[in-house]
Homo-oligomer: A and B are copies of this chain.
């Protein structure tokens, strides 16, 4: 799972979930599976493939179980799903997901808008879900993703003490790890470094992923700051698809292509082949014709003479 990395760091591709739930078009199941296959062929080690929510709320995710069942055929890849409640968690575990992620918002206002529960009620869900996991699928890894960890579009700033306390409470409630999400694209590198440093001092190896958005252009700088604070798992979305439908204006996950390029150029091994990642981008484009795709590396191409790991023997930042 995420705490055991085969490479220098783990890029957790969230596009098939976070990206696809945010676009109006519903991608056909076969196209989702082809995209996931292409991501696996590029060397992606972990993929969040769907969300187990009511199809009335998110029709784009109605085939989540089918997609999980397809994706888990790739034996070497961790297949994740997002679940907002125990019903979704049971469905995800029964479908065979290796890892599930629970969004737990540090902003009460955002929590109500997103999952219609207070943060305290979500902690009860964490307890119930981890108990169910112990009973029916003890091998499943459970991550709490603390959303609005760096600010909320509804309430504004979110106290850092609240964020850290909630992340710790999720682990105490049974989650295997707690990560921090910049749901709203409000984070800055100093804040990211400060919060992840605190998180790691509280939770050690149970401190989880950095999930950054690029709303104001700081997505990659925030990943770099998180890396410097010791984070080794990064969520991103191919072509920058996605965002949070309940955080107005907060569209835009970090672009996987640009993130992988940054780390590989620094000499850090992601396990991902950039050329094949661009092939997967084409597969995505075929499945979502007309959808805007983002990223700077894809149109520019790799620099002349670029060799991944060219600096691997030198120290990184």
- List A residues at the B interface (Cβ < 8 Å): 151-157, 184-186, 188-191, 193-194, 214-218, 220-221, 224-225, 228, 249, 255, 258, 261-262, 265-267, 295-297, 300-301, 303-306, 310-311, 314-317
Give the complex CA separation of A185 and B216 in angstroms. Answer: 20
Additional 18 contacts, C-beta under 8 A, given A214-B296, A217-B295, A218-B220: A152-B304, A153-B303, A157-B305, A186-B303, A186-B306, A189-B262, A189-B266, A190-B311, A190-B314, A190-B315, A190-B317, A191-B265, A194-B314, A215-B296, A216-B261, A216-B297, A217-B258, A220-B220
- A156→B217 contact, CB < 8 A: no
Chain B residues with CB under 8 Å of A228's CB are: 317
**3 shortest interchain CB distances as A-B pairs:** A156-B305, A217-B296, A188-B265
Give the complex CA separation of A177 and B224 in angstroms. Answer: 29
Some 23 contacts from A to B, beta carbons below 8 A apart, are A154-B304, A155-B304, A156-B304, A156-B305, A157-B305, A184-B303, A186-B304, A190-B266, A190-B267, A190-B316, A190-B317, A191-B265, A194-B314, A217-B220, A217-B258, A217-B262, A217-B296, A218-B220, A218-B296, A221-B262, A225-B317, A228-B317, A249-B300
Chain B residues with CB under 8 Å of A153's CB are: 303-304
Chain B residues with CB under 8 Å of A193's CB are: 317
Chain B residues with CB under 8 Å of A218's CB are: 220, 258, 261-262, 265, 296
Chain B residues with CB under 8 Å of A266's CB are: 188-191
When C-beta atoms are compared, the residue in chain B nearest to A192 turns out to be B317
Give the complex CA separation of A156 and B307 in angstroms. Answer: 11
Total copies of the chain? 2
Give the complex CA separation of A108 and B191 in angstroms. Answer: 42
Give the complex CA separation of A218 and B267 in angstroms. Answer: 15
Chain B residues with CB under 8 Å of A191's CB are: 265-266, 311
Nearest CB of B to A312, in Å: 11
Nearest CB of B to A179, in Å: 20
Could you say which of B152, B249, B300 contacts A216, with CB atoms under 8 Å apart?
B300
User: Known: A156-B305, A194-B314, A249-B301. Contact between A216 and B258, CB under 8 A?
Assistant: yes
